[in-house]
Amino acid sequence: MPELSVNKSENLKIMKKSLLLLAVILFTLCNNTFAAPLKQGDGKYLITTTQQLNDPVYAQKIEDFYATGEEGTFTGKNDVPIYYKIFRQPGKEKGAILISSGRTEGALKYKEVIYDLFNNGYSVYIHDHRGQGLSGRMAKDPEMGYVDNFQYYIDDMKYFYDTYLKPDKHQKIFLLSHSLGGAIAMSYLEQYPGDFDAASFSSPMLGLASYICPLAHILYTKTPKYAPGQTGYHRDSSSFATNSVTGSEVRFHRATEAYRLQPEARLGGATVQWLKESCDHMKAVSKNISKIETPFILFAAENETVVNHKTETKFVAKAQKLGKDCNIFPIGDAQHELLMEKDPQRTDVMTKTLDFFGKY
């Protein structure tokens, strides 16, 4: 019996040491796992995830980084003040990226995109298009989506490029655009084919539903007025379930919160004048594809409800027939805002974009 008692005591000591060793190993593994940045896809790029956005510490890092950007305004066409933000790499960079955002959007909404692009080695430049974001408004009602001349969008971008990007002498300069920003960007490539090394388009506004343009021309007057069914800004956090632009709830709420904190940046529905100007310009863009020399890729959302998906396909097909270096990528189970979509879709778009820019 005494022998058995000794063996039992020794066994308990061994078990305690083993459990202690196991605890140390698990603690080390857990710390290493959470300390490492989360990556998606093949791990080539640092791309923010929903899990990270739901972490208050990580979300605050994005806010803190955004606050470090250089901000200012310049005078656009017809003396309209144009707001901008610049995030320059402190050392060696892969190049610079100019972002051309969509209708109703501004730099505020692109904090996560800017953060990801910067963390992958790019300097980032973004300006709020006239009539939206923190740029000047031309209508008495600041929530009206209005522009008196679509060409002014391109003129503003050219001034921003020549005054802020060009003097920094980047070895490579790329263009990333979304929706309305895509229509502006495509026209820019046609008018200034030598400015960018490559371009990426997210759901570009190259066409709208077939009835919209004829209706806009019928209803057109010089006095700004909302198009039928359009109103002032009314988006709130409770409307995610009925929204038709993104399947990412956390990104939807982040955008809503950004405009709640800075209501002067928000924008409501489109005016008849904006639609008429946009329709006329989209027609001109389609006629001038032959002038494009910049390689580009285009991403089209499967569940698109804002722009005309068929027009995107026809545009790329025509460009390819003319010998342009371009391609289109359909994104499955995705809505209009591909740069603000669910992780799998957004990561796919970001990864393909960075891969594409890396080739030039």
pLDDT in tens, 261-274: 999 999 999 999 99
**Predicted pLDDT of residue 235:** 78
CA distance 199 to 186: 9
Question: In this structure, are 161 and 86 located in the same domain?
Answer: yes
Provide mean pLDDT across the span 275-283. 96
β-bridge partners, 70: 86
Here the CATH number for the domain that contains residue 261 is 3.40.50.1820
* Cα–Cα nearest to 153, from 210, 224, 76, 93: 76
Average pLDDT over residues 292-297: 98
Cα-only R_g, the chain: 25
pLDDT at 283: 95
- Residue whose pair of structure tokens reads 């026209």 in the numeric block: 187
Residues 155 and 177 in one domain: yes
DSSP character string of 311-330: HHHHHHHHHHHTT--EEEEE
Q: Please answer whether residues 316 and 350 qualify as being in contact, where contact means their C-beta atoms are separated by less than 8 angstroms.
A: no
Structural domain including 19 reads 1-36
53 and 28 in a common domain: no
What is the mean predicted confidence (pLDDT) over 230-250? Answer: 90
Provide the percentage of residues in the chain whose pLDDT is more than 70: 88
| The one-letter amino acid at 191 | Q
Same domain, 224 and 183: yes
| 293/324 Cα distance (integer angstroms) | 7
Query: Does one domain contain both 4 and 132?
Result: no
Q: How far is CA 255 from CA 30, 75, 250, 289, in A?
A: 32, 27, 9, 34
How does pLDDT run across 134-167, given as a tens digit for each residue?
999 999 999 999 999 999 999 999 999 999 999 9
More confident call, 296 vs 42: 296
Instruction: State the total domains in the chain.
Output: 2
Residue-averaged pLDDT of the chain: 90
What's the pLDDT score for residue 314? 97
Q: Is the same domain home to 174 and 293?
A: yes
**288 in Cβ contact with 186 (< 8 Å):** no
Q: Are residues 8 and 118 in the same domain?
A: no
Detail the DSSP E strand segments found in the chain: 70-75, 81-87, 95-100, 122-127, 173-178, 198-202, 296-301, 326-331
Burial class (CB in 10 A: 0-12, 13-18, 19+), 22: exposed
Predicted local confidence at residue 44, as pLDDT:
86
Rounded distance between C-alpha atoms, residue 341 and residue 110, angstroms? 12
225 and 99 in a common domain: yes
Q: For residues 29 and 48, state if they share a domain.
A: no
Tell me: do 28 and 118 sit in the same domain. no
Instruction: Say if residue 21 is in the same domain as residue 164.
Output: no
Q: pLDDT at position 1, please?
A: 33
Place 8 in a pLDDT band, splitting at 50, 70 and 90: very low
Other CB atoms within 10 A of residue 310 CB: 13
| Shared-domain flag, residues 28 and 146 | no
